[in-house]
Structure 1
C-alpha cells in the first residue's frame, strides 16, 4: 500500500487498540495519539522528527514513520514494534 494508505491503516489500527487521535501536525502529515491512563503520545507520520522537534516536544514517546510503500504484514510488524516501544517507555516513566 502507498505511504498515505499505510498511515490511514495505522491510524485505524491504533484506534482499534484503544488509542484516541488527539492532534495533527500543521501540514496534516503527522497524527498524534494518546491512550487513556498512559503518559506521552504516539506519533504516526510520513517523516522523521528533527532534533529540534524532539527537544521541543518530549511528550511524543514513540513514532511510526512511513516513508515508502508497505505491505499489510510489514505495517503490522512496524506498528507492533512502535507499540512495544510506547509501552516500554510507560514503564520507564514510572521508575
Structure 2
C-alpha cells in the first residue's frame, strides 16, 4: 500500500493561505507530496450568482507563483484544475488554469 500527501491551503476568517513550510514538513514523511496549486487560491463564497446563490472566487493569476514555490520546495507533483473556458466551467472556474 502506498500513500501520497496533498498540500493545499489553510484558512483564516476570510482567506486561504499557503505556507511553503508545510510542504517541507510533509516531505519529511518520506511519502510523495503533491501540491494543489488551484484550490489553494480559492476565495471565500460571496460572489452572487444569477440564480440567487453565491460562489467562491479565486486568484487564478497567482497559480504560477504557487506552482513555482511548490516546485522550489521539492514536491513530487503538482495538481491543478484546468478548463479551456474557466468562466463557463461547472465549478471552481475562478481558480482553474487555462
TM-score (norm 1): 0.28
Higher share in helix: 1
Normalised by the length of structure 2, the TM-score is 0.27
Q: Choose 1 or 2 for highest CA Rg.
A: 2
